[in-house]
Amino acid sequence: EETGLVVDVGRWVLEEACRQAQDWRSRGHQLAVAVNVSARQLEDRDLVDDVARTLRASGLDPLALTLELTETVLARDPSATSTRLAELRDLGVRIAIDDFGTGYSSLSYLRQFPVDALKIDRSFVSGLGASEEAQALVRTLVRLGRDLGLEVIAEGIEEESQLALLRFAGCDTGQGYLLARPLTPGALDGFLAASSLPLLPAGCVVPANPNDSGARTGALVSSGCARAEAAGRGVHELS
């Protein structure tokens, strides 16, 4: 990042993620992608133009692209960041705060930044079931996000007990090894070909069947900094 190469690499990742997502969508799989944005990328004056150009070139629906930034990145220059995020959202893309709860930003910034989702860091999820304090903290984070009108996504769900507690807390959406492990794009092609489940964009998910706690088949694909979330029944509504 110090050399500035992260800008070029990030541009390539964005292009590949959008190209792959549009390829899937053109074949009838309505998937969405999430791409991480670093502090250096956010400061780059060409970022908004790069995103707009990439969306045009790929033909991807802007709503199918989420840009994820950590709260530490957001807090570096709140005023400039708020302006840049507003410009990105004007393109129609979604903005998510990644690893929420691990940084040092003021909670007042949440009202300032135009964001759509909070992703609760896996370190909070892993502590669920270990103590009442851990559960209380997660409930507070979920309530904060929902009170602000944001989608709340829990990362790193690995145990049924964690899933149950997150549902009880009112968390909207979850991801993790319990729901599905990462797949390469090629492996996801095979999964999609074999699956008869209807697929929806991440964020427009299939509710879990309250009578079937084991209904959690799905896919989460990692490709560099990009992630495609197949919401068939993998990344799904928890409440």
pLDDT tens digits for 65-102? 999 999 888 888 888 999 999 999 999 999 999 988 88
Does pLDDT of 223 surpass 70?
A: no
Q: What pLDDT does residue 104 have?
A: 64
pTM listed for this prediction:
0.81
- Mean pLDDT value across residues 135-162: 94
Question: How many CB atoms sit inside 10 A of residue 88's CB?
Answer: 23
Q: Are 142 and 120 in contact (CB under 8 A)?
A: yes
Q: What pLDDT does residue 78 have?
A: 86
Does pLDDT of 167 surpass 60?
A: yes
Task: Classify residue 61: in a domain, yes or no.
Answer: yes
- Mean pLDDT value across residues 187-216: 49
Give 159's contacts (C-beta < 8 A, 6+ positions apart). 129, 178
Q: What pLDDT does residue 69 have?
A: 94
Q: What pLDDT does residue 239 have?
A: 53
- Mean pLDDT value across residues 50-55: 98
Return the higher-pLDDT residue of 225 and 189.
Answer: 189
Mean pLDDT for all residues in the chain: 81
Task: Classify residue 12: in a domain, yes or no.
Answer: yes
Does pLDDT of 226 surpass 60?
A: no
- Mean pLDDT value across residues 42-58: 97
Q: Rg of the Cα trace of the chain? A: 17
CA distance 19 to 15: 6
Does pLDDT of 179 surpass 60?
A: yes
Domain containing 104 — which CATH number?
3.20.20.450
Label residue 235 by pLDDT band (50, 70, 90).
Answer: low
Task: Classify residue 236: in a domain, yes or no.
Answer: no
Determine the structural domain holding residue 11 and report its residue range: 5-230
Which residue, among 2, 61, 72, has the nearest Cα to 36 in the 3D structure?
72
Task: Classify residue 201: in a domain, yes or no.
Answer: yes
Return the higher-pLDDT residue of 234 and 212.
Answer: 234
CA distance 237 to 239: 6
- Mean pLDDT value across residues 7-21: 96
Number of domains in the chain: 1
Q: What pLDDT does residue 101 have?
A: 81
Task: Classify residue 238: in a domain, yes or no.
Answer: no
Task: Classify residue 29: in a domain, yes or no.
Answer: yes
Q: What pLDDT does residue 188 have?
A: 84
Q: What pLDDT does residue 211 have?
A: 35
- Mean pLDDT value across residues 52-73: 96
Q: To 5 degrees, how large is the angle CA 74–CA 92–CA 221?
A: 75
Give 138's contacts (C-beta < 8 A, 6+ positions apart). 120, 124, 125, 128, 154, 165, 166, 169, 171
